[in-house]
Chains A and B, each alone.
Chain A
Amino acid sequence: DAGVIQSPRHEVTEMGQEVTLRCKPISGHNSLFWYRQTMMRGLELLIYFNNNVPIDDSGMPEDRFSAKMPNASFSTLKIQPSEPRDSAVYFCASSLVQGGGEQYFGPGTRLTVT
């Protein structure tokens, strides 16, 4: 299995621009999670989906952030407009069991907003 796939791996953009991060979970996995990792705040859950339905988005920092999962094999995290404080590594993870703790992480997208 290819594991969780994220793209792009690196993104550099200017403040005010729209940023879209993409994730392909492991085939057959029912839950998908978006995390943000920074030195200051550590690893934070932003949102998670079960069977393509958003279950908990309480970690989404602001209305500038939105996430979608149109089908079982694809999800996006969008930031519009982006700000320098959004600079972080964004991880996507998936798990086989809904609500399962055994999560498989992708390689992450390093976002830099200048």
Chain B
Amino acid sequence: QQQVKQSPQSLIVQKGGISIINCAYENTAFDYFPWYQQFPGKGPALLIAIRPDVSEKKEGRFTISFNKSAKQFSLHIMDSQPGDSATYFCAAKTGGKLIFGQGTELSVKP
């Protein structure tokens, strides 16, 4: 119940394309859903986040879509760039802690 399942494990997208990463959860007590971006050799960095009372949040080229009834949320990266190549983690918060998905390694080809 504490798990957050993330897919796909890896993703290759052409420059200018749309990258889509999906996450699913079971615990209805989760109250905050952030996405983190991690470059090799660096710590994860918060990218964008959403609360369950909102169905969509957009910041620049990054959009979170949230489906509360399906217990799913996804990250869309529009106009993907080679600089977006990184590992992306979804997460869900319960109480004071975050539960992370397994990560998606995104590669954007020029």
Q: How far is it, in angstroms, between the C-alpha of A91 and the C-alpha of B45 when the chains are bound?
A: 12
- In this complex, what residue of B is CB-closest to A56? B97
- In this complex, what residue of B is CB-closest to A9? B41
Cβ-based interface call for B110 (8 A): no
Least Cβ–Cβ distance between B6 and chain A, in angstroms: 9
Taking a contact as CB atoms under 8 Å apart, the answer to whether B96 and A56 are in contact is yes
Taking a contact as CB atoms under 8 Å apart, the answer to whether A102 and B49 are in contact is yes
Name B96's contact: one of A48, A93, A102 (CB within 8 Å). Answer: A48
For A, the interface residue count at a CB cutoff of 8 angstroms equals: 23
Interface size band for B: 20 to 34
- Give chain A residues whose Cβ lies under 8 Å from the Cβ of B46: 102-104
Within B47-77, which residues are at the interface with A (CB < 8 Å)? Answer: 49
Taking a contact as CB atoms under 8 Å apart, the answer to whether A101 and B93 are in contact is yes
Within A57-114, which residues are at the interface with B (CB < 8 Å)? Answer: 91, 93, 98-99, 101-108
- Consensus secondary structure, chain B interface: strand
Contact string, A30-63, partner B, CB cutoff 8 A, digits 1/0?
Answer: 0101000000001111001010000110000000
Name A48's contact: one of B34, B41, B45, B97 (CB within 8 Å). Answer: B97
Taking a contact as CB atoms under 8 Å apart, the answer to whether A45 and B98 are in contact is yes
Q: Which of A43, A45, A56 has the most CB of B within 10 A?
A: A43
Least Cβ–Cβ distance between A111 and chain B, in angstroms: 14
- Where the two chains meet, the residues of A that have a C-beta atom closer than 8 Å to any C-beta of B are 4, 31, 33, 42-45, 48, 50, 55-56, 91, 93, 98-99, 101-108
